[in-house]
């Protein structure tokens, strides 16, 4: 490996766009507490199309979640939210959700009232009983047989799914943070995008990020690609979230250029402070990055129930992982160099980030490929992260 950060990272980006199987294009960045120390863009926004650039816009999918979580934490700081009050206090519709106990002989869902109320804390920790159809067979059956809309429709109807288990029973990754977005809207009396702009994006100087693409953002948008069984790639230029979504989906709805997300990562590295004001208090940050799960709630592999959307996927198999507000926490040192207690997550089209508050740097790796857990992109992201630690430059810059 090259003995410098730029050489090492440039080599990894070049390898993933020229290898077999390849990725169409990639943008990757690393930031210290003060500024980006690496920015790279290689390949194409769409196969055969314009070159990938550092200002390319991506559907960032579930890396939206941490931003919505930040908006929830702001409500908490102001005393306008009780994490342990029933979430239906803020959004009555969530109180209508029943527990799915299976299906009867005719294929009708068997439903019952939950044993306890969903709380915002459960939503933040993914323990409320909600899932995703691409990770859960029962939800997929509801979609196929009962017409349950997908969350990518960004519709209110897509949120009205039954619960997979009683709230608090276990951890399952799902549409929890979309409901958190609805709670923020209820408390603030504004759409989630407006709240984010006022209270997160403006103090952080983030402009190239939104639930609806501006003309400028659309002109720089990378297309999503499908990885076929033979390893080839098929562009899916029409696969986009609704241009004017009914619901600002706090779990997956944002588009952004990666440089904008790095400003958000820097806020978490700097104890809640941005260039134009404080976003969160230091004490809130310190609580928010710690494991919030109980002993019976464990982070498990994400099973690829819809193979076109996700492979079986897991970060650092064999290592203990937990969940905070709202990040995955690796509870043991990872092979990439990421230390125990660092936080991070990913987005469906193979975007990945991590935030290492201990060493003072973080990174983001962005491609636009389905299914999730694409070996070429996921593997490239891990190599990229490893390079950030191996050269020592990121730690020194922090």
State whether 141 and 173 are in the same domain: yes
Averaged confidence pLDDT in the chain = 96
State whether 111 and 254 are in the same domain: no
State whether 263 and 354 are in the same domain: yes
- The string of pLDDT tens digits covering residues 221-272 is 999 999 999 999 999 999 999 999 999 999 999 999 999 999 999 999 999 9
Residue 272 lies in a domain: yes
State whether 312 and 343 are in the same domain: yes
Total number of residues shown for the chain: 398
Catalytic residue among 38, 90, 139, 173: 173
| CA atoms in the 13 A half-sphere facing the CB of 281 | 9
Q: What percent of the chain has pLDDT over 90?
A: 97
Tell me how far apart the alpha carbons of residues 386 and 30 are, in angstroms, rounded to a whole number.
12
Predicted confidence at residue 180, as pLDDT, reads 98
- The string of pLDDT tens digits covering residues 282-330 is 999 999 999 999 999 999 999 999 999 999 999 999 999 999 999 999 9
State whether 91 and 54 are in the same domain: no
Catalytic residue among 62, 257, 324, 377: 62
State whether 174 and 239 are in the same domain: no
> What b/e readout covers 131-153, taking b as 16+ CB neighbours within 10 angstroms?
bbbbbbebbbbbbeeeebbebbe
Contact (Cβ atoms closer than 8 angstroms) between residue 338 and residue 356: yes
Its pTM stands at 0.97
- The string of pLDDT tens digits covering residues 173-204 is 999 999 999 999 999 999 999 999 999 999 99
Tell me how far apart the alpha carbons of residues 148 and 374 are, in angstroms, rounded to a whole number.
27
Residue 263 lies in a domain: yes
Residue that finishes a domain, picked among 138, 153, 185: 185
State whether 174 and 243 are in the same domain: no
110 tagged catalytic: no
Residue that finishes a domain, picked among 152, 185, 218: 185
Which letter does DSSP use for residue 358 in this model? Answer: T
Instruction: Give the count of domains, the chain.
Output: 2
CATH of the domain at 351: 3.40.710.10
Residue 50 lies in a domain: yes
- The string of pLDDT tens digits covering residues 13-56 is 999 999 999 999 999 999 999 999 999 999 999 999 999 999 99
263 tagged catalytic: no
Contact (Cβ atoms closer than 8 angstroms) between residue 151 and residue 132: yes
Backbone dihedral region for residue 357 (phi beyond 0: left; psi -120 to 50: alpha; all else: beta): alpha
State whether 147 and 280 are in the same domain: no
Residue 192 lies in a domain: no
Range of the domain at 131: 75-185
364 tagged catalytic: no
Predicted confidence at residue 201, as pLDDT, reads 98
Predicted confidence at residue 1, as pLDDT, reads 36
E strands, the chain, in order = 25-31, 36-43, 57-59, 99-103, 109-112, 209-210, 224-227, 233-236, 255-257, 273-274, 277-278, 321-323, 328-330, 343-347, 351-356, 361-366, 369-370
Residue 277 lies in a domain: yes
Predicted confidence at residue 100, as pLDDT, reads 98
Residue 383 lies in a domain: yes
Residue that finishes a domain, picked among 156, 185, 214: 185
State whether 285 and 146 are in the same domain: no
Predicted confidence at residue 3, as pLDDT, reads 53
Strand, helix or coil for residue 163: strand
Residue 302 lies in a domain: yes
Residue 193 lies in a domain: no
Catalytic residue among 65, 175, 321, 324: 65
State whether 389 and 250 are in the same domain: yes
Closest listed residue to residue 351, CA positions, set 369, 336, 365:
365
Contact partners, residue 339, CB within 8 Å, separation at least 6: 333, 356, 358, 359
State whether 173 and 212 are in the same domain: no
State whether 279 and 372 are in the same domain: yes
Which letter does DSSP use for residue 232 in this model? Answer: -
């Amino acid at each position: 490996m090259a003995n410098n950060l730029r050489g090492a990272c440039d080599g990894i980006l070049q390898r993933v766009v020229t290898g077999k199987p390849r990725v169409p294009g990639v943008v990757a960045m690393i930031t210290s507490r003060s500024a980006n120390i690496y920015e790279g863009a290689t390949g194409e926004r769409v196969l055969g199309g314009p070159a990938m650039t550092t200002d390319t816009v991506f559907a960032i999918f579930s890396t939206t979640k941490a931003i919505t979580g930040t908006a929830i934490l702001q409500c908490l700081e102001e005393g306008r939210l009780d994490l342990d009050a029933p979430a239906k206090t803020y959004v009555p519709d969530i109180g209508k959700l029943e527990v799915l106990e299976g299906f009867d002989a005719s294929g009708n869902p068997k439903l019952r009232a939950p044993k306890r109320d969903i709380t915002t804390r459960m939503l933040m920790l993914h323990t409320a009983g909600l899932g995703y159809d691409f990770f859960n067979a029962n939800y997929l059956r509801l979609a196929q047989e009962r017409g349950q809309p997908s969350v990518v429709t960004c519709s209110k109807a897509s949120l009205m799914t039954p619960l997979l288990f009683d709230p608090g029973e276990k951890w399952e990754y799902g549409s929890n943070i979309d409901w958190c977005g609805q709670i923020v809207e209820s408390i603030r009396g504004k759409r989630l995008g407006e709240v984010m702009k006022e209270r997160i994006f403006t103090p952080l100087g983030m402009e190239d990020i939104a639930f609806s693409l501006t003309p400028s953002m659309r002109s720089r948008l990378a297309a999503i690609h499908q990885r076929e069984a033979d390893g080839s790639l098929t562009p899916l230029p029409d696969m986009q979230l609704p241009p004017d979504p009914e619901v600002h989906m706090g779990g997956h709805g944002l588009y952004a250029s990666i440089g904008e997300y790095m400003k958000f990562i820097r806020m978490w590295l700097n104890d809640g402070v941005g260039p134009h004001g404080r976003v969160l208090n230091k004490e809130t940050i310190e609580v928010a990055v710690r494991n919030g799960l109980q002993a019976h709630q464990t982070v498990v592999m994400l099973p690829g129930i819809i193979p076109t959307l996700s492979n079986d996927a897991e970060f650092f198999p064999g290592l203990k992982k937990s969940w905070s507000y709202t990040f995955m926490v690796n509870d043991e040192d990872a092979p990439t160099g990421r230390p125990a207690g660092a936080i991070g997550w990913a987005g469906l089209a193979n975007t990945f980030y991590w935030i290492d508050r201990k060493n003072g740097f973080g990174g983001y790796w962005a491609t636009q490929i389905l299914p999730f857990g694409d070996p070429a992109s996921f593997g490239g992201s891990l190599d990229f992260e490893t390079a950030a630690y191996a050269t020592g430059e990121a730690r020194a810059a922090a």
